[in-house]
Amino acid sequence: MARILGRKKESIHEALPEESLRAETIQWGDLTWVNIESPTETDTKYLAETYHFHQMALDDCLSRKQLPKLDIYPGYLFFIFHFPVYDKETRIASKRQWSAFVGDNYLVTLHPSELKTIDALFRDCQTSEESRKEYFSNGSGFLLYHILDRAVDSYFPVLDKIMSLMEDIEDVVFDEEVEAAKELSILRRDIITQRSVMFPTRAIFIEMENKLKRFSKVDVTAHYNDLMDHTNKICDTLDEAKEIIEVFKDTDYTLATYRINRVTRLLTIFSSIVLPFILISSLYGMNVVLPGGIDAGKPVTFIVLLLVMGVIASVMLIFFRRRRWI
């Protein structure tokens, strides 16, 4: 038989009227799931009074600068997880922290509002008796596994998006008319953020299996092995993406350098060819009488100058060609 409770306000509301309690509860059999979205100090005080959690662990729930970890306390386990949330405008993921307390007959989750997978599973259990029976019947450790499994599965569309962008960026890198440096930097930063989330999370998953056996009524080995397989696949794909993006970055730099050198080479050749013209025009531009100058008044002078310039330019072009500069 299940009891679905709403937000508990009475015990805390009188002492702390400035904030309402955000804890929502589902109870099925002997297991209770307490879910708190965007927790506040009011919520942590409620948990301290109700479950007597250690104050340091409760403080960590409100902090946003904790590393993923597993702390063992008498009678319960405390977890901190990170999960990436993708911003479509900036096209960069950011870390979001959520926490979980696992005891013999309860599971407490605290998470920001951006993590929709936890809230979606909680609502599913609120409305469906079959879901409560499926997720609650094998203990709090097994319920936590289902939350993590949904969270990891929800990450695969993000991973597919990254790989799709990798394919697009490859075309951009080899397109001379498109500036690829900005796109590469955005994607590279996103991959770094994803790796900083998933790799520490994988380390926590490795520790979890043995620790959660005492809070599960069934053998969770196969389930956590499957979870680890998915997580390893994600981490391996991110490693591959990191290597590919580094290759693309180096390739883009090499191609950009080549294009600059090619333009510089052409400008240098043009300057070298024009230099004799400038020299000759400078000589005949002086206010002195020179052979073939303007005082002679003969058109042959202009023709001779053009021929001299043409011969010099031709000799220089032949020389550049033989040296394979052009």
Phi/psi at 5 (5° precision): -105, 150
The token duo for 20 is 């309402």
Angstrom distance (rounded) from CA 273 to CA 317? 8
- The confidence score (pLDDT) of residue 147 equals 92
- The confidence score (pLDDT) of residue 194 equals 87
Amino acid at 47: L
- The confidence score (pLDDT) of residue 122 equals 92
Taking a C-beta distance cutoff of 8 angstroms, is the pair 140, 107 a contact?
A: yes
- The confidence score (pLDDT) of residue 290 equals 54
The C-alpha angle 152, 156, 157, rounded to 5 degrees, equals 130
- The confidence score (pLDDT) of residue 33 equals 95
CB-based contacts of 215, cutoff 8 Å, min separation 6? 77, 102, 103, 104, 139, 140, 141, 144
| Structural domains present in the chain | 2-257 (3.30.460.20), 258-322 (no CATH)
Taking only the tens of pLDDT, the chain with its 326 residues reads 444 455 443 333 333 344 688 889 999 989 999 999 999 999 999 999 999 999 999 999 988 788 889 999 999 999 999 888 877 777 777 888 999 999 989 999 999 988 888 989 999 999 989 989 989 988 999 999 999 999 898 888 888 888 888 888 877 777 766 677 778 888 888 888 888 888 888 888 888 877 888 888 888 888 888 888 999 999 999 999 888 888 888 888 888 788 888 888 888 877 877 777 777 777 666 554 555 555 655 566 667 767 877 787 788 788 877 877 66
Pinpoint the alpha helices (H) of 174-220.
181-212
- The confidence score (pLDDT) of residue 15 equals 38
Task: Specify the 3-state DSSP secondary structure of 35.
Answer: strand
Give exposure, 29-55, as e/b (b: 16+ Cβ within 10 Å). Answer: eebbbbbbbebbebbbbbbeeebebee
Q: At what angle do helices 221-283 and 181-212 cross, to 10 degrees?
A: 160
- The confidence score (pLDDT) of residue 48 equals 92
pTM to 2 decimal places: 0.72
